[in-house]
Structure 1
């Protein structure tokens, strides 16, 4: 082979080496690109997870804030309760009561009842209808409106024994949640015969008697000398009167 052939062989070898090097570089670049792609995807996944965590934290914060606001509002809202029950423990008189047990003023109180209120006393029925049909302009905290409803004869007739009351009202922050109460008069049947009507009066009289006895004992102890002297004077006066009568 002459010099030209060797040059050709050398040039071919160099070209082959250059091609092999270019292939290695391309393969390395491809691996680097794949690795960079995986890193980019991992970074994107981490970013997505972080975004979800932030959104969840914001959602939890909003829910907690809404719950705190609701609790604060409910603690400062009026609560109007409608009920039917004995006027006093042991009393046979049933009354309809409208009571604001909340801490704030109730305004524009509206009551709906199903079925319509009826009493065995015909004169009470229109009064009861008027009590629940009109709008109550205001009901201060702990204010209780009471209306005569019925008596023990309620259980001897065919009048309704179950009523559903719906109450709407406004508080300091606007309309409050609509409340619904169910009153079942059958649950009171046994209660009304369980206590003497005058039992509470008897208990109060007994307490007053006990207080008077204690007061008398305390007074006698504090003024024992004066009481003894007074009794001695009375005894002497009685003895002198007896002596004078005997001398006559």
Structure 2
């Protein structure tokens, strides 16, 4: 093979090597580009998740429940409370089916009128209560015991996602509803009164003669004083 042929072969080999290198570099650049795009996508997702977590942690959280007005109380109330960290505004509560009380049409009307109003603001920890029913009357009636409450409100980032609460009070028929806050104190006072009564009876039984004699002496002394007043006049 002459020199020109060798040069041609060498040039062809160089061209092939250059093409291979270019191909490898192109694939590597494409892989780097795809990796960069994936990194941007992951970073964007992480940012969106962080923003969503921050928003959820700083939004108001308004809950609705039906519960006794106080431990041991037979009065049931509808309670609306903001347990979130920020102010809730324009709070609207709807219910399905409409609320009805077994304790009279007047209470039903007041309850429905009160919940129909938009609550302008509900600060963190604020709790509103609306008289709902008397438990004994409720469970003796044919009225519903389950209600679905829907809460809409605005927070510092705009409208809060509507929340739904299914409240069913039928299970309360078989549960203890707690005791009155002063029940323990009342029991202790009653026990003390019984103890004092027992001590009084025991004392009277052991010292009956002395007590009767003392009473008789007091009566005689009073008679003498009254008699002396009459003679003096």
| TM, length-normalised to structure 1 | 0.68
5+ residue gaps, structure 1, are: 1-16, 209-248
Is residue 100–residue 140 contact of structure 1 (8 Å, CA) maintained in 2? yes
Q: Secondary structure at the match of 1:123?
A: helix
**1: CA distance between counterparts of 2:178 and 2:13?**
97
SS at match of 1:158: coil
- C-alpha distance 23-138 of structure 1, shift in aligned 2 (>3 A): same
Q: Which residue of 2 aligns with 1:201?
A: 182
1:54 corresponding residue in structure 2: 36
> Does 2:110 match 1:127?
yes
1:123-165 residue CA offsets vs partner (Å, 9 max, x unmatched) = 2111221122111111111111101111222222221121111
**Matching of residues 218-237 of structure 1 within 5 Å:** none
What corresponds to 2:152 in structure 1?
Answer: 168
Distance in 1, matches of 2:12 and 2:140, equals 97
**Counterparts of 1:76 and 1:40 in 2: how far apart (Å)?**
54
- Report if the CA contact (8 A) 1:113-1:132 is conserved: no
| Match of residue 130 from structure 2 | 147
CA contact (8 A) 1:119 1:125 kept: yes
Aligned residues: 188
Partner of 1:31: 13
Indicate if the aligned counterparts of 1:97 and 1:146 stay in contact, CA closer than 8 A: yes
Deviations 1:21-44 (A, max 9, x none): 444433333332222222212111
Matched, 1:189 2:170: no
- Bigger mean CA deviation after superposition, 55-64 or 23-32: 23-32
Deviations 1:58-97 (A, max 9, x none): 1221122222222222222111111111112222221101
Hey, what's the Cα distance between the residues in 1 that align with 2:151 and 2:24? 58
Aligned-partner SS, 2:81: strand
Q: What is the CA distance between 1:204 and its match in structure 2?
A: 4.8
Q: Which residue of 1 aligns with 2:119?
A: 136
- What's the counterpart of residue 27 of structure 2? 45
